Structure 1
């Protein structure tokens, strides 16, 4: 059971048994419960609790060990610390060994105080200011860069969740704060079409990704493409995008993430979409099969790269 996994305490990596079976550290897992916290963006099939019980039903089949990194789920303003406390309370039951907490980085002294409060929770190893909701150029602003430097000074990481046209802003941030470890969420959310009408990677997206990858402290998450496809995808549809980031970043800067439960929703279904049982498993299988056919090291993509990036010991 997931509830039997170790907690996010020092020595986690060493305690995981090595029995020859595949190990998976899901680098991008969401959890929420609308009865605990408020999420103004939830609607349709997403407007339900996705926590311990639901995740146990979606435990991966195949890996010998499974654990996860929780990434903030954008609760209402002022609830970021409450979110960390809640995730801490269910971390053992959900296999969460580390937390990427929500934090606004553009508020000067308020940002510094918030980061200090987050530091009281040992599972916090990074932050995310949701840039996809901000105007273009936001990550280039002096006040944001100051906040990013505070994150780097703590030895924490930054998850960059942006839309495609904002990728150059992340490149600028990486240049401005080279000491900050950054991971690009969801391949930068490229437009990939649908399973019935797939689209090829654009030259603009690939060029921006390649430029971003020239900063050695930047990694990329193999996550989120199912959601970009509307929840239903074909393996051959996503393979060119996976190939592109593998070419840009190299296999030692890629990490798998399920983006559960966002990437487990069929958004084309009526009445706000439908939850797809087993979609998390299918995305795991899609990336594992892709890595195998490309001769890539699954241990890196599904385990060690995420450990190294987030500094989990």
Structure 2
């Protein structure tokens, strides 16, 4: 099975600043750590890096840092951080990103933003500029924000957009699962009416706080397939955000107090769960695990980028600023 992970994060708090990292996530997750989290059943593995919400003035530095690791890690595209409501500053930032050959799209993380921002005049103008550059937009929103994203899609029908994490519905836990709500299904269906909007099968293990099983999440995958059709679905790991939870059985490093910890096999388990679901439903495993993401992000047309890996650790702060 070939896999193109449509939603991979990397970060290093020693090199870039992050205001949101805490607990088991407040450590380095980069090249070495990813090599230890490779997918067990993937014959070929590539990834699209999605911005990890470093502080705003380091968005471009983040792109440059990830580019240094792209070739050995199999990263074929970068979804860069961008604020789309900054007017001329947004244009200047997008111009800077245009010089980075691996950039395929941008993400303005909307899940913590006030209602109405995504359909404000400033944001729509910035998003329209993204579309004109041929890039895509990753929409990371809460379930209650789905109608707003549908309005954005209606305002800019030419904007290729992908919904991260199915809109973050409440899924419960393995022991106490929740069914999809009628409101979430309704709003997902409405968003899917826009043909340029895709959906990532990602993030649900994180919404379950790492306490999940495949059967619990199948109804949400089915709802996404019913709304978008399998041709607009793509798998994403949301690594390492979605691999934090109760210690896995046999973990010799499990915290004695039972607190959440890193789950070593969770990335592979999520890939296997979605692939098994797709096969069972006859949706086309290769499309969901590889081809749809390749087509959406246009990574098959990206040039090969070779970089000097020497600055990866020592002296990288000065190199990034340069």
Same fold by TM-score, threshold 0.5 exceeded? yes
Compute the RMSD of aligned alpha carbons.
1.2
Counterpart position of 2:309: none
For residue 42 of structure 1, report the CA deviation from its aligned partner: 0.2
- 1:78 aligned counterpart, secondary structure: helix
For residue 137 of structure 1, report the CA deviation from its aligned partner: 1.5
Runs of 4+ in 1 over 3 A off after TM superposition: 267-272
Counterpart position of 1:216: 195
For residue 92 of structure 1, report the CA deviation from its aligned partner: 1.6
Q: Does 1:300 align with 2:281?
A: no
Distance 2:73 2:201 in 1: 21
Counterpart position of 1:76: 55
Distance 2:142 2:2 in 1: 30
Q: Does 1:291 align with 2:270?
A: no
For residue 94 of structure 1, report the CA deviation from its aligned partner: 1.8
Contact preservation (8 Å) 2:246, 2:258: no
- 2:77 aligned counterpart, secondary structure: strand
Cα distance per residue 1:29-78 (max 9 Å; x no partner): 00000011011100000000000111001111222210000000000120
Kindly tell me: are residues 151 and 272 of structure 1, through their superposed partners in 2, closer, same or farther at Cα, counting changes over 3 Å?
A: farther
Cα distance per residue 1:208-229 (max 9 Å; x no partner): 0000000000000000000000
Distance 1:255 1:68 in 2: 12
Distance 1:133 1:110 in 2: 21
Counterpart position of 1:32: 11
Counterpart position of 2:304: none
For residue 240 of structure 1, report the CA deviation from its aligned partner: 0.1
The unaligned stretches of length 5 or more in structure 2 are: 248-254, 301-322
Counterpart position of 2:102: 123
Number of corresponding residues: 292
Q: What is the TM-score when the length of structure 1 is the normalising length?
A: 0.91
Counterpart position of 1:193: 172
- 1:132 aligned counterpart, secondary structure: coil
Contact preservation (8 Å) 1:125, 1:156: yes
For residue 93 of structure 1, report the CA deviation from its aligned partner: 2.5
Contact preservation (8 Å) 1:43, 1:272: no
The unaligned stretches of length 5 or more in structure 1 are: 1-21
Distance 1:267 1:201 in 2: 23
